[in-house]
Amino acid sequence: MLPLPKKYFVTAAASEGETSLTAFDGALLKARVGNTNLLRVSSILPPGCQFEPDLVIPPGSLLPIAYGSITSSEKGAIISAAVGVGIKSDSFGVIMEFSGNCSKKEAEAQVTKMVEEAFRIRGIELEEVKVAACEHLVENIGCAFAAVPLWY
C-alpha cells in the first residue's frame, strides 16, 4: 500500500508527435511527469496535502496522478485539457479533470464548474480552486494533457 501523499502541484502541457503515444509522451515531459510511472487515481486530494508548484519527482518513481488528456490527428483541430483542485483548508479536496475539442478557456470553465458541483454535492464549502489548462492546435498528431501529481 502506498503512503498518503503530502504534496501536489497542477500542470498542463501539449505536444506533437509522430504517433499518438509519442505525442502523449511529449506532453508528459513538458508537464514535468514524463520520466515517471503514472498510477492513475481518481479525484480526492488527501487532507493536509500541501501545494508545492516546484516539486521535482525523482525519475522512475511510481507517481499517483489524476489527469485528463486528449489526442487527435485531425489537422487544424483545437484540443484542450484542464484539471481543477477544489480546496477546503480543514478537509480533503476534490480533483476534477476535463479534456475535449474546445478552447483552453472553455476547458477551464468546465473543470471549474465540475469542482464547484463536486463540493456542492458533498455539502462542503469551497474555499479555493487551482486550475491548470492548455490548448493545442493539431499540426499532425497532437496531445493536450493536464494533471495533478501527488507526492510524499
Q: Which candidate in 15, 97, 99, 135 is catalytic? A: 97
The catalytically annotated residue of 18, 35, 37, 140 is 37
Q: Is the dihedral of CA 110, 47, 88, 130 positive or negative?
A: negative
Residue for grid cell 514524463: 34
φ, ψ of residue 120 in degrees (nearest 5) = -60, -45
Residue 42 a catalytic site member: yes
Quick check: is 101 catalytic? no
Per the annotation, the verdict on 89 as an active-site residue is no
Contact 139/6 with Cβ under 8 angstroms? no
Q: Which of 43, 69, 72, 99 is catalytic?
A: 43
Return d(Cα 99, Cα 34) in angstroms, integer.
19
Residues with a catalytic annotation lie at 37, 42-43, 97
